[in-house]
Amino acid sequence: MLLRTLLVLWCTLVCCQVSRSADWPAFRGPQHNGVSPEDRAPTTWSASENVVWKASLPRPGNGSPVVAAGHVFVTSAEDDAGHERSLYCLGRKTGTIQWVKTVSREQELPTHKTNPYCGTTPVVSDGKVIVWHGSSGLYCYDFQGNTLWSRDFGEFRHIWGYGSSPIVHRGRVILHTGPGRQVFVIAMDLKDGRTIWKDEEPVDGDGSRNAKGEFRGSWSTPIVAQVDGQDQLIVAHATRLKAYDPETGETIWTCQGLAHSRGDLAYSSPTLVGNLCFMTGGYQGPMMAVKLGGQGDVSETHRLWRTEKQPQSIGSPIAAGGMIYRANAGPGTIQCIDPQDGSIRWTNRAAGGNHWSSIVRVRDHLYATNQQGVTVIFRSDPSKYQKIAENRLDDETNATPAISDGQLFFRTAKYLWCIQ
């Protein structure tokens, strides 16, 4: 009897571990850092090789797929004007569409051709999937497509559209809204969507431009760091980094440094490497590193360094072996950066083309996908660029791939792909 009980417990633990490793439930994975907990991922594929399935999508989009509990979720607009915005649920084994939830909005709002409507990534937690459709609202569904709750926060207007994705932390849905005139960070109860706390960010100008007429906005998805045993929610606002207590919404620290002569812009997510937080401003903005552990305004005390004009950086970089690896959107280079001082260890053109998607990693294999659908796999090595493989899907993409149970999931302009 004791042996049988121990065997059941062991099988339960193993199954739980396999289930956790198989899920990619949020933008940039289970830890919001682009790192897969798995040991392997495909290294060879093409549009006709090692494709398990591909499913047609109605419109292009920058939102990434997420994978959880045998489902793949992805967003897409149904029309070019973004009047109808949808969440698709597909079976992960076959790519068959299981259900679609569409919300409608009569008013057409501006965006940019490089950021089609439905540019956000869903998040899955506790049998629920949450999706942010900008001005069309925030929605929570169960795995059968039933609406559990929704929130309408009003209009979000920016000439370049919207793009920050929700995350879930300890039973709370956290959303960084904007860009535009209405910008705030809000924490909601996962069970019913009620507001737990909300922090509004001051906005000058008309929402698309600041008072000086320069571009302004943040499309950055927040991350959570643990600092001295305390969770910190780190958000990249348009001009500064800001860390919150995710339980109360109280500000822990702020750090200026993202504003520059071309505007107040943040595209990528903050990146943690050791006890540092690395961030790059948008539109060829500055890059900087902040030492974690401070309180209040740490711009002078904990900002280790800040360098001015950088290559255009839209996707989020990734940490590996104490270094930062960044794929740039213009010029389309890959760089290895030392976060201690901001020095560039190496720069390589790799496959060429510009990168909008974020780098993902499996152990020491880094995957960088350019806008032409070409993915280079290279080794994390601060001494030199070491290419492992190069693969293409012959379709454009700005979305970040997902890694789940030894498979890759790509969202391109026309299709959702599963690669084995």
Q: What is the 3-state secondary structure (H, E, C) of 191-254?
A: CCCCEEEEEECCCCCCCCECCCCCEEEECCCCEEEEECCEEEEEEECCCEEEEECCCCCCEEEE
- pLDDT at 10 exceeding the cut of 90: no
Q: What is the pTM of this model?
A: 0.94
Provide the pLDDT confidence category of residue 22 given band limits of 50, 70 and 90: confident
Cβ atoms of 216 and 210 closer than 8 Å: yes
Count of Cβ atoms closer than 10 Å to residue 293 Cβ: 14
Task: State CA 298 to chain mean position distance.
Answer: 26
As a whole number, the mean pLDDT across the chain is 94
Strand pairing report for 251-256 and 296-297: parallel
- Please state the φ and ψ torsions of residue 62, each to the nearest 5 degrees: -95, -5
Q: CA 75, CA 121: separation in Å to the nearest integer?
A: 7
Nearest to 324 by CA among 109, 33, 123: 33
pLDDT at residue 407 in the model: 98
Task: State CA 74 to chain mean position distance.
Answer: 13
Give me the CATH code for the 24-419 domain, please.
Answer: 2.130.10.10
pLDDT for 366-391, tens place per residue?
999 999 999 999 999 999 999 999 99
Q: CA 160, CA 119: separation in Å to the nearest integer?
A: 11
